[in-house]
Structure 1
Amino acid sequence: MAVYRPVHVSFWQDSFVLDLTPEEKYFYLYLMTNSKTSQSGIYELPLRIIETDTGYNRETVMKLLERFAEYGKINYNQKTKELFLINWLKFNPIKNVNIEKCVLKEIQSVKDQDFLADFYETCLQLEREQNFKIPRIKEYLSVRLEGLIRGFQDHSKEEEKEEEKEEEKEQQQEERASAEEVVEVNPISFYEQNFGFITPFIADGIHAWIDDLNAELVVKAMEIALEKNTRNMSYVNTILRDWHLKGFKTIVDVEVADKAFRTQRLAKAQQPTQAPYQQKGLSESTKNVIQQQESWEQNIPTDEELAALNQKSGWMVQ
């Protein structure tokens, strides 16, 4: 059965697309219309498949993926081989129950938890701005994200908070002591050992960042890139530009900001979660609605229904 991903005619006049190079326009269209795309905007796309489909070599593919990540249009996880089209839902709304069920089935197989958290945040934003009605998806994601948080709450909350505070104090003291001792790792050597051959252009860029920030932060940015399995200087530059704009000067600044960001995002993802409904004292009409909600998960379509729906419907992209 054929599956279509129509492109709206206004795509070519979009202000973002107008500024793209021909190569970038082609690649952007490919990311939105290739055979691995999904209705949720999150799908698995191995680099080998991109190379085969586009004819580009690995270096060009990585360069384009990094570029569109910097543009804020996609996120790509090399470890899980998953790609997230950030604005997909804005231009491909979930208009009815059947589509919602299809999207729900797709996101249940997503491996990258950060993608799901961002997807959930987008859903909440669209709900406020465009009267977006996706109760099944919201319920599933709120439970799944809450489960991630609950995994760290096996012990008493108060005891855990105290332990975390003590660990933070010790860590900050160690960081400050390290900074005072000025024990530096050579960023050039670190790059060669972990990223590979270094060109004069990359070396000049590293030295420039050392002058603007310091060697410790440059190495820290490289370590983060390695943790994300993204071994390229473009990603490192993106991290360092962000730190420079925020005025970070030490590793402590980075650690504190990172923890605050994660706490805020988890809190936002957890916010819509409500306690289970209590049947006592509810009207009959409310009980009926609750029963319908509890049966939603049982109505997820089969693969055959999903294929039939994809054949019948196409989604506008921009």
Structure 2
Amino acid sequence: MAIYRQIHTTVWKDDWIGELSIKEKLFWMYLTTNDRTTQCGVYVFSWRYAPFETGLSNEDIKKIITKFQDDGKIKFNESNNEIMITNWLKYNSARSPKVAAVIDKELKGIKTPEFESEVIMRSKDFEYPIKTEKSKFDTVSIPYRYPMDTISQPASSSEPATEPEPSAATAQETAVPATNPVRLYQEMFGMINPVIVQDINHWVNDLGAELVCEAMKRANFDQKGYRYAAGIMKNWAAKNINTIDQVKADDVSFENKGRKKSKGRVESLPEHIKQPPKEVPLTPEKEAEIDRKLQEYLSKE
């Protein structure tokens, strides 16, 4: 049983969350924070405690569960009363060996074969160091009713398998695996949360995965965080920059402007710096004093 669950304060800016009703928002928070949640995202749902803890009726809960299933956010097995939060593993990093060990332990208690297989496949996809290699039910390739937004897994069979056509949001990730923004974020800034993933996806749709990765690399080089990278991307979007060549051209333009400003500052130097000071004529008394000191010096020599 977990002590707490991390929820980012900007979760309310998520488009899907924003379109939910008050009851649906409450229930989504409940699904992700109640004391039966697990590290792998699969747990037994309690019809007894849920109405008491949320104040919702069983009828309301059934309707909301159906909606969440249709939206592809959860999967629910009525016979086992098991619920699976579809993107839990995607948004809750398990790269730590200790966390991965918890997932291995939880896998043994999952009753729904499809859920166990999906947890294993997603963990392997995100390169989480779990030790469980396959489902105890030997269900390697399971057809799913609801959409999933992870990168397709290679089939374990020796026969070629036809992968589902990727959505627009994931097409760029599969096309350029070397520039996976979510994975790059984890490597440069650490653990990622659902709100950041949502924000990254928005930027990928606007600028492309390559520019999103470039912005994060620049932020990391300057020892800054993701907000700094987001500022870079916002600046590019304002200038309608959407290719790496345009980024390079903008860099050159910025450097040229810097040189012009520097040159302008030199040309506008004050007169007393640009021109040498005028000579002031010596008075007779000053000349006599200088001659006297010169004679004293020569006599000593």
Which TM-score tier does this pair reach, normalised by the shorter chain? 0.3 to 0.5
* TM-score with structure 1 setting the length: 0.44
Give 1 or 2 for the bigger CA radius of gyration.
Answer: 2
TM-score, normalised via structure 2 length? 0.46
Q: Which has the higher helix share?
A: 1
**Quick one: higher RCO (CA 8 Å, sep 6+), 1 or 2?**
1
